[in-house]
Amino acid sequence: MAFYKRSRAGNDALSLRRVLPFVLVVLLGVLFVIFLIKDGTVASYPSFANMENPSSWEKDFPPSVHLKSEVKLPKQTTLSMSLEQRNKLPPRNMDLFPNLAKDHTKIVLYVHNRPQYLQVVVRSLSAVEGIGETLLIVSHDGYFAEMDRIVQGIRFCQVKQIFAPYSPHLFSDSFPGVSPGDCRDKDDPAVKKCNGTADQYGNHRSPKIVSLKHHWWWMMNTVWDGMDETKGFSGHILFIEEDHYIYPNAYRNLQLLIGLKPLKCPACYAANLAPSDVNSKGEGWDMLVAEKIGNVGYTFNRTVWGKIHMKAKEFCSFDEYNWDITMWATVYPSFGTPVYTLRGPRRSAAHFGKCGLHQGQGKSSACIDNGDANVRLDEIDKILNIKPEWQVHVFKKQTGYQAGFKGWGGWGDERDRELCLSFAYMYHVVESS
């Protein structure tokens, strides 16, 4: 009897111990649901969450496969080939930063030739909290020794340099540069017997002007689909430019935004470091903001890249030389639902350049301004300043370029369109059987 009793008591204690974890899990679950209901976007913006949540996120993309014959890349110059070889080098600073953090967001900085700006950007990046956890990829449009030197001097994280091998800046007398016999300005090919297809306004291509869109598209394709360093990477990539000052809190804020995105804004394709209005410092509210994707510090993942890549034909055939206007007017509208990005109420990056991309280097008309001068950091810009419990304010009305805009032109030449498509196909080639 005594034995029986003791053993019953022992069993009771045992079963309580077994049940306790279960009870705790249920309790936590209930608390979590209460947290969601209390704070969620769902309660504040039912229509936003329900109507505009893209239902097709997890739909598999048809694998993009292309025949070799679809890829028509120009004959390379010696410089172009040697830079392409350099693209295969492993990242620098592996001795100082042997490992990337498990949940890191890679950073792509795309640059042309404004060294005095790049210095400022690099200095700002060196002060970013967490920068040592990630890989910085610098994508160069053209080869410029001073730009190269600045990037080679970076010591605060792993750095991988890539050079667009088909940049018009690398071809002095053949396409994608200017070839002898090319039409110029408003030449009529039939009369002048010159090569080229004019844009919708009758103007022929200008290599300097098309280089930006080519670079952006080559870079996107390469960083997502053409590099060992990103193969199988399922995280986000942040994109910044040579005139974007990055605040010390940018990386930590971004990680938080990326984590909050699925919960707070299922309709958001991206996260941004700054408002889409480049002159805005943000509203300063105690709220997150969902709005159209801006150019300063946009961040997205491979799923979103897959959707963009599927629109290669639209991107490459739209007669507009600006990549961002091309995205707003053709690619995003083709997704079927409004495209939003999630950001904080204070910017974590600032566009500081006053010089246009094509003004920077002219010897007579050198445009040099002190980029540092117009970015003033407050203490709150140096620390994580986004709160996970904040609600999302949605700017539903998306201003600016939309579906229906015909484009500013500059992208009418068949050769540019073909090169652009080749960039989209070159990492997806199958051997024909």
Ligand X SMILES: *[C@@H]1O[C@H](CO)[C@@H](O)[C@H](O)[C@H]1NC(C)=O
Work out how close the CB of 50 gets to ligand X at its nearest, in angstroms, rounded to a whole number: 16
Tokens linked to 103: 């949940």
Tokens linked to 349: 């990056």
Strand extents, DSSP E, 62-126: 66-67, 106-111
Please, which residue, 71 or 125, has the CB nearer to ligand X? 71
Please, which residue, 56 or 432, has the CB nearer to ligand X? 56
CB under 6 A: which stretch of 191-199, 276-284, 332-340, 425-433 binds ligand X? Answer: 191-199
Work out how close the CB of 372 gets to ligand X at its nearest, in angstroms, rounded to a whole number: 34
Alpha-carbon gap, residue 121 to 128, rounded angstroms: 11
Work out how close the CB of 322 gets to ligand X at its nearest, in angstroms, rounded to a whole number: 24
Alpha-carbon gap, residue 418 to 430, rounded angstroms: 19
Is there a contact between 141 and 110 (Cβ–Cβ < 8 Å)? yes
Alpha-carbon gap, residue 112 to 114, rounded angstroms: 6
**243 marked ligand binding residue:** yes
User: For the window 54-93, what string marks contact with ligand X as x by the rule CB under 6 A?
Assistant: ---x------------------------------------
Binding to ligand X, residues 153-182 (CB under 6 A):
180-181
DSSP assignment letter at 95: T
Alpha-carbon gap, residue 305 to 64, rounded angstroms: 12
Closest CA to 359 of 371, 347, 346, 368: 368
Is there a contact between 159 and 140 (Cβ–Cβ < 8 Å)? no
Residue with tokens 């017997």: 193
Parallel, antiparallel or unpaired: strands 268-272 and 298-301: antiparallel
CB under 6 A: which stretch of 215-223, 287-295, 300-308, 384-392 binds ligand X? Answer: 300-308
Work out how close the CB of 66 gets to ligand X at its nearest, in angstroms, rounded to a whole number: 23
Work out how close the CB of 192 gets to ligand X at its nearest, in angstroms, rounded to a whole number: 8
Q: Does 260 bind ligand X (CB under 6 A)?
A: no
Q: Does 193 bind ligand X (CB under 6 A)?
A: yes
Work out how close the CB of 225 gets to ligand X at its nearest, in angstroms, rounded to a whole number: 15
DSSP assignment letter at 179: P
CB under 6 A: which stretch of 1-9, 110-118, 223-231, 261-269 binds ligand X? Answer: 261-269
Alpha-carbon gap, residue 348 to 396, rounded angstroms: 22
Among residues 269, 332, 340, 401, the one that binds ligand X under rule CB under 6 A: 269
Please, which residue, 271 or 426, has the CB nearer to ligand X? 271
Is there a contact between 341 and 293 (Cβ–Cβ < 8 Å)? yes
Q: Does 259 bind ligand X (CB under 6 A)?
A: no
Alpha-carbon gap, residue 143 to 163, rounded angstroms: 7
Alpha-carbon gap, residue 420 to 176, rounded angstroms: 11
Is there a contact between 109 and 242 (Cβ–Cβ < 8 Å)? yes
User: For the window 304-323, what string marks contact with ligand X as x by the rule CB under 6 A?
Assistant: x-------------------
**103 marked ligand binding residue:** no
Among residues 42, 73, 194, 375, the one that binds ligand X under rule CB under 6 A: 194
Work out how close the CB of 190 gets to ligand X at its nearest, in angstroms, rounded to a whole number: 12
Q: Is-cis flag, bond preceding 176, omega within 30?
A: yes
**141 marked ligand binding residue:** yes
Alpha-carbon gap, residue 265 to 308, rounded angstroms: 20
Among residues 230, 301, 326, 341, the one that binds ligand X under rule CB under 6 A: 301
Please, which residue, 137 or 270, has the CB nearer to ligand X? 270
Task: Indicate the annotated binding residues for Mn(2+).
Answer: 243, 351
Task: Indicate the annotated binding residues.
Answer: 141, 243, 351
Q: What residue ranges bind ligand X (CB under 6 A)?
A: 57, 180-181, 193-195, 234, 261, 268-269, 301, 303-304
